[in-house]
Structure 1
Amino acid sequence: MPTKIGIRQLVEFVLRKGDLNEVKNSQNTALEGAKIHRQLQSSRSEAYQSEVYLKTTVTMNGADYLISGRADGVQTTDDGILIEEIKTSDQAFDDLTDNTRDLYWGQVQVYGYLILQDHPELTEVTLQLTYFQVLTKKITKTQRVLSRAELDAFFKALVTEYEYWLTLRADLRQQRNASIKTLPFPFPSYRTGQRELAAAVYKTIHFQKRLFVEAPTGTGKTISTLFPAIKAMGEDEIERLFYLTAKQSTRHVAEEAVDLMSHDGLKLKSITLTAKDQIRFPEEQDLPPEENPFMVGYYDRLKPGLKDILTHENQLTRPVIEKYARAHTLDPFEFSLDISLFCDVIICDYNYLFDPLVYLQRFFSEEDHDNFFLVDEVHNLVSRSRDMFSAEISDAKIAYLLKLAKPDKSQPSDDLQRELKKVRRSFGRISQALIDDDVTEQLSIEPPEKLSRTLRNFNDFISDWLQKQQPSALLDAVRDYFFDCLTFVKISDLYDGSYQTRTVLDGHHVTVKELCLDPSDFLDRSLKLGAGAVLFSATLSPMTYYQRVLGGEANSLAYQLPSPFPPKHQAILVTQYVQTTYHERPHSEAAIVASLKALVTAKTGNYLIFFPSYGYLTQIKAAFELANPEIQTTTQVNAMTGSERQAFLDQFQANPKQTLVGFCVLGGIFSEGIDLRGDRLIGVAIVSVGLPGINPETNLIRDYYDHDNGQGFAYAYQLPGMNNVLQAAGRLIRSSHDTGIILLLDQRFASRRYTNLFPPHWQYFQSIYSVPQLQATITNFWQQTEGLTHED
């Protein structure tokens, strides 16, 4: 199978030179660009053919390379052949840099070369660049007639320049595949379920399917998915693997898994992509591109930097990328993206695939079955994806912007004020409509078209205005609001039957929200950009729910693994005497405090107690400390920094001499992704079934799924809450030597509605009807497990 190289990728890599000019924020989304392409293409003659796939195979260094792409249009007449390349952007054609025009023409010249290969009778071809300026809708057409000799020379020079990189990629691929062929599983033996999971992943890749996997804590999900995927890569089933995560901690776990395999001889290029605002050098902050030394002349230094890092490094983590970026004076974020084109495993956040505003266009502008996706902790994608495809805008900032934009003698123009007032008037009409109806909130299935049109015009003006400004407080404030407006307009292009518009009047300000209630179709489209995907988590029950909300209901497989740990190591205790509904909370406080005391005083050790809200946490914690002043406690607080989080976890030491009780929030930073092995944690209590707080937007989700499948309450409230419970409980048993108690403080847990959601290793739960019975049961558990040792 020849290595595939996209024509655009080839042209941009070879011909791009000079400064790194970051793409100006544009409201010309991929969706809008495609729409413009279709409009222009449909206006052409009958002799015009759209989206013509062109390819050629080039042999270099004993290997074949398939160079391919799609020409926007080819028109064949008796007079010859015309090839059209359509480009859309906010900038005026005359404002494009020379290098940008060279890249556009380079692409269409390659198409011209390929067309002539298929038509030996022709000696020349007409090339047309059609440029559509989105802001003005102005179309600029330019043509060139090039001979076969000219195009042959251009293509030969292009490929010759790229030969080093083609050869490098081939050598890296050959080295990679040879190392994978003999790569052993990096542990002496498989845990329970690991071999089965690895086999399922391999088959999913081979048959290009989508697989949802629930693999309980301790299965070793990361290595059990990465190892078979890399094995499949070594057999040319796929060329590139994306490991997508929600949290930095899980990205580190993936890095460690690749590192572990590298010690057994694996030689492949892996890279971890870090968000732009986190990886950029401090001295780059607040510098415009034309003054940033890491961007000025970037492309003139890029290839030596790539050669250096690819020659000397395999695992390209953030510190490694920063080291080489500084050595070659390259912006580290853009450098990481350019390196990724040569990498086999790309570890990154969900948004690089799924987010419609920031996805990686270099990989995901079209389908590529050389790519495969591993999506870790995929339960997090439910809420994340709703946020990605939703947007809101308010008029709250406009008064401040108008004040800053007030004309003075040095700035006599009031154009900005005029445009801001247009936006304010649009919000004013929305606000007045709510006042006339005597309501503070309104819901609609219709998109906010009038507001979107106003904001689109405002964005048109600001796009031009920003290019003429010097640094100032006004510039910063307008840019921030422009980004908000831009996001709102881009999301409005996606608005369909899965959306609702919520308008809220709060005092003197109005907020309009485009709420995506069901992003499953969008997620499905993203996943179809690769050959297939494995989506996995420790908690994906019920599987049908996750398949429905994550875009896999009709075309996916499901697989649930048993827990690898003995059930006797863990006691699941459900208190039938505790009610935690809002109205019962004052009456159940004493019973909860007594139950927590029974849990934490039966054995010296470390415990975590989880609550559905900070308010409830504060209430019970105060009562607990008042009743038990001798017991040491620690508490999660809102918006903890990284160092504060680590300090919190560092308190949970092995072999503790006194009991420590940590009070935390369900669904928070300590309810998943932390690993307190052995006796660093011996008990978890969960107060309530974790239902999200009732609010209008979650009610919209409930109503949507009530209409869709009659399970609105479950989809909006019960199942997300239960997932938080299962994640928090999963902090307890982390290895085959761990033992401990999970205490569920809410009688609803014993109802069939919830026991049906218990994972298989929870089927031995015990119902507890009083505090004395709880004390006796806990004591008995510790006596029975006394012979079992903990091991870090």
Structure 2
Amino acid sequence: MPTKIGIRQLVEFVLRKGDLIEVKNSQNTAQQGAKIHRQLQGTRSEAYQSEVYLKKTVTMNGADYVIAGRADGIQTTDDGILIEEIKTSDQAFEDLTDNTRDLYWGQVKVYGYLCLQDHPELDQITLQLTYDQVDVEKITITKHVLTRAELDTFFKDLITEYEYWLTLRADLRVRRNQSITDLPFPFPAYRAGQRDLAVAVYKTIRLKKRLFVEAPTGTGKTISTLFPAIKALGEDEIERLFYLTAKQSTRHVAEEGIALMSRDGLRLKSITLTAKDQIRFPEEQAVPPEENPFMIGYYDRLKPALKDLLTNEDQLTRPVIEQYARKHTVDPFEFSLDASLFCDVVICDYNYLFDPLVYLQRFFSESDDDNFFLIDEVHNLVSRARDMYSATINDQPIAPLLKLAKPDKSQASDDLQQALKKVRRSFNRLRRVLTDDGKTELLAPEPPESLLRTLRNFNEFMGDWLAKQAPSPLLDAARAYFFDCLTFVKIGDLYDGSYQTRIVSDGHHVTVKELCLDPSDFLNRSLELGAGAVLFSATLSPMSYYQTVLGGTANSLAYQLPSPFPPKHQAILVTQYVQTTYHERPHNEAAIVASLNALVSAKTGNYLVFLPSYGYLTQIKAAFETAYPAIATTVQAAAMDAQARQDFLDQFQANTNQTLVGFCVLGGIFSEGIDLRGDRLIGVAIVSVGLPGINPETNLIRDYYDHENGQGFAYAYQLPGMNNVLQAAGRLIRSSHDTGIVLLLDQRFASRRYTDLFPPHWQYYQTIQSVPQLTATIQNFWHQLAEAPDENETHKTT
């Protein structure tokens, strides 16, 4: 199968030159841009065809490459053929850089060349660039008539310049495929369920489907998805694999999986993308692009830097990217994006595919069946997606900004003050609406159009104002508020039936929230940008819920693996004598504390206790320490950096001779993604069923799904809470030698509503009626394990 090269990718790579200048952010979203395209295309004549796919196979160095792209429009008349390219942005056409215009025209010229290949009777073609300056609805149309000879020369020069890179990609691809052919599974044997999962992933890629997978802890999800996907790469079923995660720790696990296969001979290019604010060098911070040495002349140094990187490195992790970026004085973030075009595996955060504001345009401006997505820990995508498609703005920053601007008597300062006051008046109008109705809150299914109009005007002003300012505290504060306004406007353009606007006044300030209650349609559109996807997690029960909220109800498959570990290694104990509803908590404190003591006193070791809030955690921890002062405790702090988190985990040592009880927040940083193997952890207690706190916004989600499917409480409260419970419980059994106890301290866990959600490996759960029964049951569990040393060591190993 020939390698496909997108026309935009080809043109931008070859024709870019000079500085890396980050122009002001456009208010234009991909969805809005597509809408404008459709509107303009709809006004054309009957002879006009929209979204015409053009391609040509080019043979270079003995290999075939398909140069392909989709022209916005082609109009065929008796007078000849016209090709139209539509561009949308906020920047005035006359303010575009020469290089930007060259890139735009470069795309149109390639379309013109390809079109003439299909029309040998024509000697020339008309090329039209239609530029829509969205913020002022100004359309600029420019046309050029080019001959076949002119376009032949342009295309030949373009391909000649790209020949080295085409050859490099071909050589890398041949080397990759050869290394994959005989690549063994990187472990001596498959764990239980691993082979089945690998086969399911491989078939999903072959069939170009979407698969939801629940693979319990210990299945080896990362290698079981990466290995078959890389096998499919080697067979040219796909050209590029995206491994998307929610956390840095899971990105490292994917890196380790590729490194493991590399030791067995795998030779492919993988890259890990790091957020811009994390990877940019310290000396780049707060430096304007025109003074940043890593951006000045960036494109003039880019190709030598890429050649050096790709010739010498296979795994392009953050340290590798930074090393070569410094060597060649190029911005590391942009360098990583440019290097990703030559990579087979791209490891990155969810937002690079799903976020409407920061998605990777170079890959996801249009659908491409050469891409395939592996999406790890996908249960995290539910809340992340709602955040991505929601936005909040308030008037609180306006007064400090006006205060900062006042001492400066310049015209620029006066203009800024006037613009800010217009925004403040718009907020004041909203406040009066609330006051006149005697309310502090207002809900509406429509976007806040009046405020959006004001903010669009403010953003247009700010785009010009910021470009003329010298560094100052005022500039930093104004830029921050501008970005908030920009985001709010962009999200406002996405409104559909899944949105609610919430306007809240606290008497001093007004806050306006654009809330996406159901992002499933947006997620579905993003997933359709590739050939298919595997979405997996240790906890995806009930599967129908995740398929619904993640956009896969009608077009996806589901697969659930059993736990690879014996159920008897883990005791699941449900206390029916404990109630943790808010009003019952004071009356149940003593029972909870006594139950925790029963758990931790039966066997010396390390334990984690999860509670639904910091307030409740503080209360139970204090009561436990008062009742049992001899037992060592530790606690999750409200704010912990990476070192503090590691220090917390380092306290849980193997082969300890002293019991340690760690108190953590359910759904927090230690309830998933940590790996305390062996006897570093022998018991987990979970207090409450983990329901999110009742609040107006979660109630809106409840009401929305009540209307959609009659399951509002489950979708808004119960299922997200139960996922937190399952994730926290999953910290316990991490390998085939691990054993321990999960103690569920809430009588609601014994109800049918919750037992129906228990995973298969919880089938032997026991209900407990009293603290004495709990004590006896726990002691019996450890005694039985000690009596069966052949099956399970008393002291577990890693």
TM superposition score normalised by structure 1:
0.99
Distance 2:536 2:87 in 1: 39
Match in the other structure for 1:49: 49
Asked if structure 2 preserves the Cα contact closer than 8 Å seen for 1:245 and 1:350, the reply is yes
Secondary structure, counterpart of 1:242 in structure 2: strand
Q: Helix, strand or coil: the match of 2:91?
A: coil
SS in 1 for 2:719: helix
Question: CA contact under 8 A between 2:133 and 2:139: conserved in structure 1?
Answer: yes
The equivalent residue for 1:704 is 704
Higher mean alpha-carbon deviation, 271-280 vs 72-81, is at: 72-81
Q: Cα offset for 1:90?
A: 1.8
> Partners in 2 of 1:410 and 1:525 — Cα distance?
48
- Find the counterpart in structure 2 of residue 345 from structure 1: 345
Q: Which amino acid aligns with 2:587?
A: H
Structure 1 window deviating more from structure 2 (39-48 vs 164-173): it is 39-48
Q: Distance in 2 between matches of 1:396 and 1:672?
A: 35
Aligned identity (percent) is 83
8 Å contact 1:422–1:454 — kept in the other structure? yes
Residue matched to 1:38: 38
Letter in 2 for 1:752: R
Aligned residue in 1 for 2:538: 538
Conserved? CA contact 1:379–1:539, under 8 Å: yes
CA contact (8 A) 1:212 1:535 kept: yes
Tell me, yes or no, if the aligned pair for 1:213 and 1:540 is still in contact at 8 Å.
yes
**Partners of 1:399 and 1:316 in 2: how far apart?**
46
Deviations 1:288-324 (A, max 9, x none): 0000000000000100111111111111110011001
Equivalent in the alignment of 2:364? 364
After the TM superposition, which residues 48-447 of structure 1 pair with which residues of structure 2 at under 5 Å, given as runs? 48-406=48-406, 408-411=408-411, 414-447=414-447
Q: Is 33-42 or 607-616 further displaced after alignment?
A: 33-42
Q: Give the counterpart letter for 2:76 in structure 1.
A: T
In the alignment, is the contact (CA less than 8 A) between 2:685 and 2:742 conserved in 1? Answer: yes
Deviation per residue, 1:389-430 (Å, 9 max, x gap): 111111111112222233744447622222211111111111
| Offset, 1:82 | 2.0
Moved more, 601-610 or 109-118: 109-118
Q: Tell me, what secondary structure is at the counterpart of 1:535?
A: strand
Superposition deviation, residue 60 in structure 1: 0.7
SS at match of 2:583: helix
2:131, 2:703 → 1: CA distance?
45
Give the Cα separation in 2 of the matches to 1:364 and 1:17: 23
What amino acid maps onto 1:598 in structure 2?
A: A
SS of the aligned residue for 1:490 comes to helix
How far the C-alpha of 1:69 sits from its partner, in A, is 1.1
Alignment of 1:331-730 (within 5 A): 331-406=331-406, 408-411=408-411, 414-730=414-730
CA distance in 1, matches of 2:665, 2:267: 42
RMSD after superposition: 1.1
> Residues of 2 paired with 1:62 and 1:24: CA distance?
43
| Distance (whole Å) between structure 2 residues aligned to residue 678 and residue 407 of structure 1 | 64
Aligned AA (2:426): S
Query: Deviation at 1:577?
Result: 1.0
Q: Given residue 25 of structure 2, which amino acid in structure 1 is its aligned partner?
A: N
On the 8 A contact 2:135/2:456 being kept in 1, the answer is no
CA distance in 2: counterparts of 1:778 and 1:89, whole angstroms: 65
Deviations 1:20-68 (A, max 9, x none): 0124211011222222222332333333322222111100111111101
Secondary structure in structure 2 of the residue aligned to 1:583: coil
Distance 2:136 2:385 in 1: 33
Find out whether 1:791 has 2:792 as its counterpart: no
C-alpha separation in 1, matches of 2:50 and 2:596: 69
Instruction: List gaps (5 residues or longer) in structure 1.
Output: none
Amino acid at match of 1:228: P
Query: Distance in 2 between the 1:625 and 1:424 partners?
Result: 51
Shift of 1:783: 1.1
Distance 2:566 2:511 in 1: 52
- In structure 1, the partner of 2:737 is 737
Amino acid corresponding to residue 105 of structure 2 in structure 1: W
Match of 2:770 in 1: 770
What is the rounded CA distance, in whole Å, between the counterparts of 2:34 and 2:490 in structure 1?
A: 14
| TM-score normalised to structure 2 length | 0.98
- Partner Cα separation in structure 1 for residue 580 and residue 122 of structure 2: 81
Within 2, Cα distance between the matches of 1:267 and 1:764?
46
**1:139: Cα distance to partner?**
2.4
One-letter amino acid of the counterpart of residue 56, structure 1: K
Q: Quote how far apart the aligned CAs of 1:332 are.
A: 0.5
SS in 1 for 2:421: helix
The answer to whether the Cα contact below 8 Å between 1:688 and 1:746 also exists between their aligned partners in 2 is yes
Cα pair distance change 1:141/1:677, threshold 3 Å: same
Counterpart of 2:139 in structure 1: which amino acid? I
Q: Counterparts of 2:756 and 2:48 in 1: how far apart (Å)? A: 59
State the Cα deviation string for residues 359-417 of structure 1 (Å, max 9, x = none).
10111111101101111000001111011111111111111222223374444762222
Deviations 1:61-99 (A, max 9, x none): 111111011222222222222222222222222222111
Aligned partners of 2:222 and 2:246: how far apart in 1? 14
Cα pair 2:244 2:347 within 8 Å, conserved: yes
> Match of 1:607, SS?
strand
Counterpart of 1:13?
13
How far, CA to CA, are the matches of 1:261 and 1:738 in structure 2? 26
Moved more, 408-417 or 624-633: 408-417
Answer whether contact 1:407 1:414 (CA < 8 A) is retained: no
Change (3 A) 1:410 1:23: closer
- Mapped to 2, the partners of 1:158 and 1:692 lie a distance apart of 56
Q: Structure 1: which amino acid aligns with 2:322? A: E
Cα distance in 2 for partners of 1:480, 1:287 equals 15
The more displaced of 6-15 and 128-137 is 128-137
Which whole-Å deviations, capped at 9, do the CAs of 1:702-750 have from their partners, x for residues lacking one? Answer: 1111111111111111111110000000000100001111111111111
What are the Cα deviations for residues 336-370 of structure 1, in whole angstroms up to 9, with x where unaligned? 00010010111100000011111101111111011
**Could you tell me which residue of structure 2 aligns to residue 757 of structure 1?**
757
- The structural deviation recorded for 1:773 is 1.1
Partner amino acid, structure 2, of 1:314: D
Is the contact between residue 412 and residue 465 of structure 2 (CA under 8 Å) also seen in structure 1?
A: no
Structure 1 counterpart of 2:425, one-letter code: R
Deviations 1:101-138 (Å, cap 9, x if unpaired)? 11111111111211221111222222222222223333
Amino acid in structure 2 at the alignment position of 1:209: K
The answer for unaligned runs of 5 or more in structure 2 is: none
1:552-606 Cα offsets, whole Å, 9 max, x none, are 1111111111100011111111111111111111111111111111111111100
After superposition, the Cα gap between the structure-2 partners of 1:774 and 1:412, relative to the gap in structure 1 and judged at 3 Å, is: closer
Give the distance between the partners of 2:734 and 2:741, measured in 1 at CA.
13
Distance 1:45 1:602, change over 3 A: same
Distance 1:136 1:728 in 2: 52
* 3-state secondary structure, aligned to 1:443: strand
Contact preservation (8 Å) 1:364, 1:529: yes
